[in-house]
Structure 1
Amino acid sequence: NQTKLCCRLLCFLWKFVVLKLLEDARRSPSQPQANVVVLPNHLANDFEAFCRKNPAPLPLLYRSQSGETSCQPLAKNADIRTDISQYCVYEEGRLVKTVSSLQSYNMVCFYLGCSFGFEGRLKNAGVPVRNVEQGTNVSMYRTAVPCTPAGVFSCPLVVTMRPVPAAMLDAAVEVTHLNPLAHGAPVHIGDPALLGIQDLSRPDYGDRVEVQPGDVTVFWACGVTSIEAILSSKPSLAFSHSPGCMFLTDIPDSSPSSSMPSASESVDRPATDRNLELIPRCFLVSQNPLMYSLASQRAVATIRQLETIIGEDPGERGIRALFVQDELLRSCLALSHASSVAITTGFPTHYQHSPPDETDGPPGAIAMATMLLSLGKQVTMVTDRRALDMNQAIIDEAVRKGVLKSAVPLVTFEDRGPDSALHFLCHHGDPSKPRYDHLVAIERSGRAGDGNYYNMRGVNIKHLVDPIDDLFIAAKDIRGITTTGIGDGGNELGMGKVKERVKTLMPNGSLVACDVPADYAITAGVSNWGGYAVACGLYLLHTCPSHQRYLKKGLGLEHATRPEQLQEWTANLPSVAKEESILSTLMSCGIRSGKTGHLAMEVDGLTFHPTHSDIITRLLKVTLGATTPNL
């Protein structure tokens, strides 16, 4: 019994010493740490390629020569056989034991950046590090996100989780972005289920860390991904550090660049990725599920410029009173994360004509659709039954003229009972299986508080409108569907988000104000301009290195955007020629200008030249002037 008691006491003391050493190392930003993987020679090239393809979880600090036990670029007088307190030994992809030293050594060692290297800097920036506060190892989780394979290596991404107070997310993102060889910025912020993590209380590696009230779960790519790579590739023999038992380096934390050195290169080159315009900023884009997204300061500033341009009011309708900053940005971020988008438009303001529709709406809808298609999204258009044939003809002509990238499905929605909207939005009416991630309404007549639909003159046009509003109402309770409304008067679907302003500040506002909100309400001098700005904003996000890294979880980033891909995205931006062409098509279908009812090349009483053409030209100039082609 005395022997057992002594062993327990020694184990406790050992754990205390190890945790104290780890905490001391974390407090010091001047001594970064490294994950270590030791592999047979014949697997070394495959593993280096695996690191290159997955730089966020596997930032390679140094690859040794075969049998090399020292590591001069990282630490003087190092001996990898004894410099780690505990090693894991794997045989045929199974963990067979842990040891305190490596005896025989004729293999290749890989030293990988570790997130412990930025914990000291987080604390210096005032960001609490909960695992250090709680005296535990960090929580590590195996995700459902597959790494980009290379050779024999293929495995899921592993992440660390650190809870961060919501008000400090930007600080945490900035500090870690500036440490690219310590995994860089987070790869996910928000609901762990979006990574396939079902239970935060049961980490796959490390210890449970308690989330405090007001904290958001933030996930960084983790070097323990390398252990998963060993387990999946099943080498006859391999070694790694034991999670939490790191190799301590001598290199300054602020010195490494984001490029990867070879075995003969040093990592003491000065950092180059410190351009303040490229530092990411964090934005909430969804509450259900909770999800934040990242975009560089440059992209954010440029999208705000777009928002300013479309907020101009040459028609003097007072639209600036409805403006909410960053609705365009947040909508574009949400759309960037979406895979399937439904777009609806159609405002039958000219009830005395056939067709009753106006020229505002369809051009902006088509501009968004063609950009979304070029980015690989699925797109569906939703219309009224009375306008089905007309809108199909417009789509067909837009494809024929090259305005629309390719044909999109055109569907209608009918109210056939209390679950109609649920069955339309979700496969088999199952709210856990939505068909769409995002719904967009642009210049779509919206339901007022009394259940009717009004044009800006206060005329009830309910008989011309199908209840597509029900889809936006139902979407509020379906996890994973976000919504955007684009309008220029306040009576459009989605503008219920600002209905109190509409009622107070817009003509006939108390009668015509739409009562149905969207998650994001984009206001524009003309609604089409909002559609053009969304297309431009999506382009900017997909040419933003910070946003693309976040979208891809830091995986598959070994190449810059292909020139032909960038060329395709650029070709699918709205242009003066394309928008003039689609407006001509609308005229040929008998669709009239909203304000005047003229069958002419105008929208909302403003002639295409020079007003609309000038807005398009300015949007393009701002967008293309801020492009960052190398991701």
Structure 2
Amino acid sequence: MDTENSYSSMYGEKPAMQRIRLLASVIPASARSLIRVGRLHASATSAMCQGFKQANIVIVDRKFANDFEKFCLANYGALPLLYRSKPGEWGAPPLSSKSDIRTDCLQYRKYEEGIFTGSLKTLMEYTEKLKEMVTFYMGCSYSFENAILEAGIPIRNVEQGCNVSMYRTNIPCARVGGFQCNTVVSMRPIPVDKLDAVVQITHPMADAHGAPIHIGHPGLIGIDDLSTPDFGDAVEACPGDVPVFWACGFTGAEAISSLKSPLAFTHAPGCMFLTDLRSERKVASDSGGSVEAPQVFCISENPPHYSVASLTAVEKIRALDRLIQQDPADRRIKHLLIKDQLLKASLSLSHAKSVLITTGFPTHFNQQPPEETDGPPGAIAMAAMLKAQKKSVVIVTDQRALEMNKKIIEEAVEEGVIKAPVPVVSYQDDGEDSPLLFLCYDGNPQFPRFDHLIAIERAGMAADGNYYNVRKVNIKHLVDPIDKLFLTAENIPGIVTTGIGDGGNELGMGKVKEAVKRCIPNGDLIACDVSADFTVVAGVSNWAGYAIACALHILSNCTIHERYLRKAVGFPKTSEVDGYTAALPTVLKEEKLLALLVKHGIRSGKTGNLGMEVDGLLFHDVHSSMIKQLLEITLGKNE
């Protein structure tokens, strides 16, 4: 039987999955031969020639070739360059033998003046013009599908016998010359319990787009409806699947459209060039292997959003968490701990663009001012790092303490504790819509002003609507209802909340209120009833603020997380790391800040002493030692 006819015949006779399995076993040279003579009847090359690399194709006039190569290098996630041909070169010697780019793709697209003007089965009629054109071969996500399948992870478009879904996004590529466009992504629904595995498999395969650039809600990257892809087919997810997005080589076609050159060609979506190169699987290692293992964490439930960081960064942040969980005042905080809250809060803050911080616990109700020294230092430490990372930061406090806190920030800048001022505002509860108007532009929940709210050592509302210190004294008359911002944020998609405390009566501790009631003295009365998405518990709340600043620094130095943040667009921003280091809390800065608080009459929380202590613990050597240890974990040395 003629081999080519047998393949054609079998495709028409077999069910979809049998056809897929047959296509998977075809070697690339045979598949290219069948394509060349029009006898391979398939609409896409997904799952074809499994174990071999596939390539996206862009063909441009030679005068644009240098700029397009630079565009590929600047947007390597979407366009990992495998080979650039010479003008008029039909083959691709490093990638394949006996290939001809004019005939060896299932289908091509033609662009004239940047406009798609038709699909073609062959480019033979353009041979003369192609002599002055250069072909670029870029890696394709189809190249990693076999490794994913071998790991027992389903690929839904393969199961459903259709093309992968591809979408335009709101992620701008790095511009080069006339090439400017947004990134195109491919999407595969992945079971939630397989997210770590799929990221670890694809991360090392940089020439096939590498790790995903977004995991979770499509709207966060400008995709309105997964059921209507811009290219490819709609793929049906199964219960428990999460949409996972990889940078896609069809970004090259969008770049061609932006250039508006007289003539250009690309492959059709899903119709890749099949190479003779084997896809080499390098598994990311959790145990000191040559490839760092990425870890995936959910950082938002509303809308669902996941982040990625290296195992090394994750373990450093977990070490910070263990350190601040020391309990020198014996407050029994071990009963309130939830795993990885510091890590997840820090990852979420790393993605945030605008952060609101609140602090202030007026426990000394007979003093003026009634505030304690725990809270403001941690808030300012976080604000310093967030601002260094070019995020918008605002501090909200009680109206009665507004001017004092503004003065403290002003003096902290003068003393070099923080580089630039942080706006300090109050919240006025003037009616039912006040929280929404404060949190969102024009009170519209689709346009929040803040991505993340943090409460650190902030008096939290109990179940009876009052506010209590640890001695069961009601201090409601001293506390503005900033809790309402956190309660309202629960129903605003896109706002994440973090509560930091050390006793259970702080804003955000509602997440652990049952444990507070059981295990903390007076907990049945004082427990805060207002929850946060993440609840970070420490022996002293300031320590958690310092730890979050350190965790943000660690994440800024994590190449896996940094790539995920910038969506594999552009180049690593290594020049900014020094500024982040300068923003870290240090013993000298925190000593200066504590002296400023004491100057303003702010006292130690537990003892009421007006001196260099926090929660009854002397700055030297308890708090100073904690800061040194946090920096040692963060920087790998004593500071």
TM value normalised by structure 1: 0.92
Give secondary structure in 1 for the equivalent of 2:331: coil
Which of 219, 236, 246 is 2:245 aligned to? 219
List per-residue Cα deviations over 1:116-136 (Å, max 9, x = no partner): 011111111111000000000
Question: Could you tell me how far 1:199 is from its partner in structure 2?
Answer: 1.3
Q: Distance in 2 between matches of 1:42 and 1:586?
A: 65
Q: Quote the residue 1:153 is aligned against.
A: 179
Q: Quote the residue 1:605 is aligned against.
A: 616
Which of 90, 100, 122 is 1:79 aligned to? 100
Which of 231, 234, 237 is 1:208 aligned to? 234
Give secondary structure in 1 for the equivalent of 2:596: helix
Which of 620, 626, 631 is 2:631 aligned to? 620
Q: Quote the residue 1:552 is aligned against.
A: 566
Which of 317, 335, 352 is 2:366 aligned to? 352
Residues 525 and 257 of structure 1: CA distance in aligned 2, closer, same or farther (over 3 Å): closer
Within a 5 Å distance, the mapping from 1:365-404 to structure 2 comes to 365-404=379-418
Question: Could you tell me how far 1:566 is from its partner in structure 2?
Answer: 1.2
Residues 174 and 626 of structure 1: CA distance in aligned 2, closer, same or farther (over 3 Å): farther
Q: Distance in 1 between matches of 2:210 and 2:316?
A: 24
Question: Could you tell me how far 1:56 is from its partner in structure 2?
Answer: 0.7
Amino acid at match of 1:572: A
Question: Could you tell me how far 1:427 is from its partner in structure 2?
Answer: 1.1
Question: Could you tell me how far 1:292 is from its partner in structure 2?
Answer: 0.6
Residues 298 and 490 of structure 1: CA distance in aligned 2, closer, same or farther (over 3 Å): same
Question: Could you tell me how far 1:20 is from its partner in structure 2?
Answer: 6.9
Tell me if the contact between 2:10 and 2:19 (Cα under 8 Å) persists in the aligned partners.
Answer: no
Q: Quote the residue 2:446 is aligned against.
A: 432
Q: Quote the residue 1:464 is aligned against.
A: 478
List per-residue Cα deviations over 1:465-484 (Å, max 9, x = no partner): 00001100000011111100
Give secondary structure in 2 for the equivalent of 1:574: coil
Tell me if the contact between 2:166 and 2:232 (Cα under 8 Å) persists in the aligned partners.
Answer: yes
Q: Quote the residue 1:306 is aligned against.
A: 320
Tell me if the contact between 2:283 and 2:291 (Cα under 8 Å) persists in the aligned partners.
Answer: no
The range that moved more, 23-32 or 598-607, is 23-32
Amino acid at match of 1:77: K
Is 1:331 matched up with 2:345? yes
Q: Quote the residue 1:586 is aligned against.
A: 597
Is 1:279 matched up with 2:300? no
Amino acid at match of 2:400: R
Q: Quote the residue 1:36 is aligned against.
A: 57
Is 1:491 matched up with 2:505? yes
TM value normalised by structure 2: 0.91
Within a 5 Å distance, the mapping from 1:79-158 to structure 2 comes to 79-103=100-124, 104=127, 105-106=130-131, 107-158=133-184
Q: Distance in 1 between matches of 2:573 and 2:506?
A: 40
Q: Distance in 1 between matches of 2:225 and 2:637?
A: 41
Q: Quote the residue 1:561 is aligned against.
A: 574
Is 1:172 matched up with 2:198? yes
List per-residue Cα deviations over 1:448-507 (Å, max 9, x = no partner): 111111111111111110000110000001111110000000000001110000000011
| Stretches of structure 2 lacking an aligned partner (at least 5 in a row) | 1-8, 26-45
**Alignment root-mean-square deviation, CA:** 2.3
Tell me if the contact between 1:35 and 1:241 (Cα under 8 Å) persists in the aligned partners.
Answer: yes
Is 1:46 matched up with 2:67? yes
Residues 21 and 556 of structure 1: CA distance in aligned 2, closer, same or farther (over 3 Å): farther
Q: Distance in 2 between matches of 1:99 and 1:522?
A: 58
Q: Distance in 2 between matches of 1:446 and 1:614?
A: 29
Within a 5 Å distance, the mapping from 1:264-275 to structure 2 comes to 275=289
Question: Could you tell me how far 1:21 is from its partner in structure 2?
Answer: 6.9
Give secondary structure in 1 for the equivalent of 2:147: helix
Question: Could you tell me how far 1:560 is from its partner in structure 2?
Answer: 5.2
Give secondary structure in 2 for the equivalent of 1:478: coil
Question: Could you tell me how far 1:288 is from its partner in structure 2?
Answer: 0.9
Q: Quote the residue 1:262 is aligned against.
A: none
| Stretches of structure 1 lacking an aligned partner (at least 5 in a row) | 1-8, 259-270
Q: Quote the residue 1:452 is aligned against.
A: 466
Residues 252 and 10 of structure 1: CA distance in aligned 2, closer, same or farther (over 3 Å): closer
Q: Distance in 2 between matches of 1:28 and 1:498?
A: 53
Q: Distance in 1 between matches of 2:518 and 2:10?
A: 73
List per-residue Cα deviations over 1:306-327 (Å, max 9, x = no partner): 0000001112111111111100
Within a 5 Å distance, the mapping from 1:220-235 to structure 2 comes to 220-235=246-261
Tell me if the contact between 1:279 and 1:546 (Cα under 8 Å) persists in the aligned partners.
Answer: no
Q: Between the two proteins, what is the percent identity of the paired residues?
A: 55
Question: Could you tell me how far 1:255 is from its partner in structure 2?
Answer: 7.4
Q: Quote the residue 1:64 is aligned against.
A: 85
Q: Distance in 2 between matches of 1:314 and 1:252?
A: 58
Tell me if the contact between 1:277 and 1:296 (Cα under 8 Å) persists in the aligned partners.
Answer: no
Tell me if the contact between 2:204 and 2:283 (Cα under 8 Å) persists in the aligned partners.
Answer: no
